[in-house]
Amino acid sequence: MKESNLGLMMKIDSYLNCGFFACFTIAIFENSESASFECKYDFYAYETVGNIYYCWIQNNLKINSPSSALITSHSGGHKSGYNNNYVYGIWSDVGGISYFPLGLDELYPNINFIVIRKGRIQELHQSDLKSLPNLKHLDLGQNDIDVLEEGLFDYNLELVLISFMENKICEVAQSSFDIMPKLHWLYLSYNQCKEVYDARTTFEALNLLVEDVRMNQCNCSDY
């Protein structure tokens, strides 16, 4: 028997002789992917969150499929006296991210500030944000997101700033921002649909300090 076939037979035999849950775990482990990144830790001051200790993601983070979106490890030395519990934010502007990273709350339990710019994120779902109830600042500018779905921020009621500047948004569900009592800054400029103005009745009900919907002149039906 060839060595490769022998290895396959041994693997099958081991599956048949272990419990169901053990085999299931092995199968997932062998077929799963994960992502890791390198951090440069520093301090950053912003009006929405104050002065925070944050991770500036270096150019080695690649998320090219949903199965590789789970962040399981990172590298980079903390400043003296600091650890992951002190990290309140991440910042990435190096590209290579096609899906919203998951598991950030496990690495940084106090995270409330996320900036991911110049990526290739095309979709954002409620499930991506559900584990981040303390999120205050979300900036996904310069990506490829085309829809803000209904109920997107239902689990993120602490949000103070949301930015989707320079995406490809063609649709904004009118209920996207209905229950956001703390939202003060909303940036939707330089997208691809004039239908964003249909949501103005929702915007008017918010206590916004800044509402930027400039340069949304294109009709999505033309694309």
**What are the residue ranges spanned by the domains of the chain?**
1-31, 34-222
Each residue's pLDDT expressed in tens, for the chain with a length of 223 residues: 444 443 433 343 443 444 433 333 323 333 447 788 999 999 999 999 999 999 999 977 889 999 899 998 889 999 999 999 999 999 999 888 999 999 999 999 999 999 999 999 999 999 999 999 999 999 999 999 999 998 999 999 999 999 999 999 988 876 788 788 899 999 998 998 765 545 555 566 677 878 787 777 654 544 4
Partners of 137 in the β-ladder:
113, 161
CB atoms within 10 A of CB 161: 22
Check: CB of residue 223 under 8 Å from CB of residue 199.
no
Token pair belonging to 14: 């081991």
Q: Three-state DSSP class for 29?
A: helix
For position 16, what pLDDT does the model report?
40
Q: How far apart are CA 82 and CA 122, in angstroms?
A: 34
For position 194, what pLDDT does the model report?
61
Token pair belonging to 48: 């929405």
For position 210, what pLDDT does the model report?
84
In this structure, which amino acid lies at residue 90?
I
Cα 89 off chain centre by:
12
Beta strand pairing status for 113-116 and 161-163?
Answer: unpaired
Helices (H), the chain: 3-16, 20-31, 104-107, 126-129, 200-204
In this structure, which amino acid lies at residue 104?
L
Q: Three-state DSSP class for 22?
A: helix
Q: Which residues of 122-137 are buried (b: 16+ CB within 10 A; e: fewer)?
A: eebeeebbeebeebbb
Check: CB of residue 103 under 8 Å from CB of residue 70.
yes
Instruction: Write the CATH number of the domain with boundaries 34-222.
Output: 3.80.10.10
CA-to-CA dists, residue 118 to 42, 88, 164, 223, angstroms: 21, 21, 11, 22
Beta strand pairing status for 35-46 and 147-148?
Answer: unpaired
Q: How far apart are CA 95 and CA 120, in angstroms?
A: 7
Among residues 101, 76, 105, the alpha carbon closest in space to that of 88 is found at: 105
Q: What pTM does this model have?
A: 0.80
For position 217, what pLDDT does the model report?
60
Q: Three-state DSSP class for 183?
A: coil
